[in-house]
Amino acid sequence: MVGDNTDHGQIESFNSQFMKHAVFSLSISLFLFFSSAGFSQSTKSYAFVNASLFNGKENKIYSGSVIFTKGGKIERVGKSGEPTGGYEVIDCEGYFLMPGLIDAHSHLDNLAAAKRALETGVTTVRTAGVSAFQDVALMELSRTGKIAGPDVVPAGVYVSPQLEETVLADTRLGVLLNGVRTDDELKLLVNVNIDRGAKVIKTRGTERAGRADTDPREQVYTEHQISVIVQEARKRNVPVMIHAHGDEGARAAVLAGAKSIEHGTFLSDETLRLMKERGTFLVPTFITLEDLTQPGGDYTGPVLELRGKFMMPQAEKVFKKALALGVKIATGADNSYTATTTSRISLECTHFVRMGMSPFEAIQAATMTSAELLGVEKNTGKIEKDFEADMILVPGNPLEEIRFLQDALMVISNGNIALKRIPFGKK
């Protein structure tokens, strides 16, 4: 633990230089990789014509729409027949154009994963803990146009009692090798994260479901410890997201001022009412529980399979109660977008509809509501003038059939066409 006699100025100066060198070196490597991978380094002006538009705000489709983008933003929304001179014309062929999806709980930490996320229709991500601030580097690459996206709201490293190998992420973390439990230890880790560029802090209310040797209902940090984390982050205007399957840990997190509860499988009616009262978001990550029950994906093993089968009905009950109470619900897939990942935000929306949301409500959970949770609701989440040009094209009306979200025909992120699978025919 860092004591009062530590030469903070000297340490911070050293780490500042180290961080700048490390991030610069990493950024150059990532830039070269994405350049060779064919990602656009400059944003063109486009006119997306012949689109059936769902703007994200209204429960309706506008046929024959034209969306003009410039400088990575939506310049205006018009109708067929408007002049398109000066724009590269992209024919949407009557397919359905809608806001890009948001994954509010991901462990995205590399370039290949970023590309896979985009290809699923996800244009904005909030990470939930990575090993060494890779998410911060991805945020900068997307922000500066080095990669098409997705935009990233990074959490940096997980505030957890044992950092294990993550202690190597920053030289200042060496004093936390034996644990992160005292007020000073918690404050140090929060501030290292924010110093390194984290825009949200992720910490633990309960144990994990994805490890066979832990019970996800068991509380980890106390209400006091979580309060220390929340208050320290609040000094620098950074919100806190809390991993909590069990009710006791989740209630402590809500009372401490958490922005969102991640998972929430065993939440009581009392805790749900408290969340509604305090405006705390729920990110169910239901698709992750399904992943536990299936071979492959991000989680596998007989203990996890049985656990998932037990937890899914419980999580569904909690979801339905949260929906009835009016708790704000956002979407998260809780995956790393690996080559074997099977969980998707589109599938999470499908579950939301099956469990009682309308398709319109499910899409808003994955766009406008998630944007509000991430604090980017003035930038993305709907197709509107001056918003970021984050859009996806799907083959059918998602307001009638939510499964169409699973088939992104085109993905536009920050005005860049990151994926284009049409036209299917050849001339």
Please list the rounded mean pLDDT of every run of 10 residues in the chain (427 residues): 34 39 43 43 84 98 98 97 96 98 98 98 98 98 96 98 97 98 98 98 94 92 98 98 98 98 98 98 96 85 90 97 98 96 96 98 98 98 98 98 98 97 93
Calpha distance 315→186 (Å, rounded): 30
In the 3-class helix/strand/coil scheme, how is 169-237 assigned residue by residue? Answer: HCHHHHHHCCCCCCHHHHHHHHHHHHHCCCCCEEEECECCCCCCCCCCCCECCCHHHHHHHHHHHHCCC
Calpha distance 52→396 (Å, rounded): 9
Amino acid (one-letter) located at 216:
P
Q: Please give the pLDDT value at position 2.
A: 33
Calpha distance 403→143 (Å, rounded): 31
Spacing of C-alpha 305 from chain mean position: 25
Q: Please give the pLDDT value at position 283.
A: 98
Comparing CA positions, the residue from 364, 343, 342, 338 lying closest to residue 353 is: 364
Q: Please give the structure tokens belonging to residue 72.
A: 């990575």
263 forms bridges with which residues in the sheet?
244
DSSP letter (8 states) at residue 20: H
CB 92 within 8 A of CB 384: no
Sequence-distant (6+) residues with CB within 8 A of 268 are 247, 251
Q: Please give the structure tokens belonging to residue 385.
A: 């003038």
